[in-house]
């Protein structure tokens, strides 16, 4: 017991009441901060049961949940990663530090990755105080949809249509695996990962564009998403579109397909009445940033990955 609160550690799926308490904590922090404290991947695992190897760290004050950390130990190469949130009125009381220290202890002081959503000074201070170093930055870029869009120029022989449920899943997963072979968080999606997203209220088949060459092979995709819509319960703000997944097969790289798919997706979002769109790109990916800047995107915010090297 510390200052009236204590940390519980649970592995695997959570009881429904506990899961709902965590989701309520996330939603409250989202309303206060204007951004989601956990990644979509972690939130989906919470909502639908998720990986059996996930560890949940929860700070309780009496019957109230005032802090939570999602500790994912499934990546055997990069090692465990954590994301955490503290109830807004309870910040500055050592709860975040307790969650971080518990995560380090649970992982036996192995190298640990810690994601901070939003490049906040508070997160930076906590990470530095606990021996983490800044390792990677995932840049959020935005663009107005009122500004003119260039004409989408598809490569010869390529056509684009909306995703067909019950038909396109295998080809889409194969394309996703190839397009993101160097990014296992994305390229490693399983059918269960895809199906969880297809079940979400925000999913729109018309907004998941797929491109085929004249042989019938799927060679590109642009999956758009809308945040803050009436059917999207994780966000409380004016609706904004997102370039959610943009991937091109090796055979179609350098043909202009990625740019054309991006523009087609932006047109779709504009036709839905949205006035702005966002995307995420690794801050070190200068080539991709140049493409997006050429389409009118500018830097807005960043998610930061901190790394603790552990202890020998």
Which residues have a Cβ under 8 Å from the Cβ of 306 and sit 6 or more positions away?
A: 113, 114, 115, 116, 123, 127, 132, 133, 134, 135
User: Which helix (DSSP H) or strand (DSSP E) does residue 46 occupy?
Assistant: helix 40-48
Report the pLDDT value the prediction gives residue 53, as an integer from 0 to 100: 75
Q: Work out the percent of the chain whose per-residue pLDDT is above 70.
A: 95
| Domains of the chain with bracketed CATH | 6-138 (3.40.630.30), 147-274 (3.40.630.30)
- Reported pTM: 0.81
Q: Count other Cβ atoms within 10 Å, centred on residue 303.
A: 20
Report the pLDDT value the prediction gives residue 236, as an integer from 0 to 100: 47
Band (287; pLDDT cuts 50, 70, 90) = confident
- The answer to whether 19 touches 44, Cβ cutoff 8 Å, is no
The beta-carbon contacts of 266-270 under 8 Å, at least 24 apart in sequence, are: 266/143, 266/145, 266/149, 266/241, 266/295, 267/149, 267/152, 268/206, 268/207, 268/209, 268/224, 269/145, 269/207, 269/224, 269/226, 269/241, 270/145, 270/149
Band (279; pLDDT cuts 50, 70, 90) = very high
């Amino acid at each position: 017991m510390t200052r009236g609160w204590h940390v519980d550690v649970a592995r695997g799926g959570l009881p429904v009441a506990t899961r709902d308490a965590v989701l309520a904590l996330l939603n409250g922090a989202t309303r206060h901060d204007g951004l989601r404290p956990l990644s979509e991947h972690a939130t989906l695992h919470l909502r639908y049961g998720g990986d059996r190897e996930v560890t949940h760290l929860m700070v309780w004050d009496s019957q109230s949940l005032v802090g939570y950390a999602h500790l994912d130990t499934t990546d055997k190469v990069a090692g465990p990663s954590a994301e955490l949130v503290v109830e807004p009125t309870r910040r500055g009381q050592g709860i975040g530090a307790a969650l971080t220290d518990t995560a380090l202890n649970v992982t036996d002081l192995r190298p640990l990755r810690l994601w901070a959503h939003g490049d906040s000074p508070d997160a930076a201070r906590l990470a530095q105080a606990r021996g983490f170093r800044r390792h990677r930055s995932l840049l959020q870029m935005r663009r107005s949809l009122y500004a003119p869009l260039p004409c989408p120029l598809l490569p010869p022989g390529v056509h684009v249509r909306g995703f067909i449920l019950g038909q396109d899943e295998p080809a889409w997963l194969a394309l996703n695996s190839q397009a993101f072979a160097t990014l296992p968080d994305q390229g490693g999606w399983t059918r269960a990962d895809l199906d969880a997203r297809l079940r979400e209220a925000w999913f729109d088949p018309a907004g998941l564009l797929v491109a085929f060459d004249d042989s019938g092979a799927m060679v590109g995709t642009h999956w758009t998403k809308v945040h803050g819509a009436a059917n999207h319960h994780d966000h409380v703000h004016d609706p904004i579109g997102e370039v959610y997944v943009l991937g091109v097969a090796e055979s179609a790289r350098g043909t202009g397909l990625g740019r054309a798919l991006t523009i087609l997706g932006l047109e779709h979002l504009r036709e839905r009445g949205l006035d702005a769109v966002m995307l995420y790109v690794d801050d070190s990916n200068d080539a991709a940033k140049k493409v997006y800047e050429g389409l009118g995107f500018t830097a807005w915010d960043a998610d930061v990955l901190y790394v603790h090297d552990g202890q020998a």
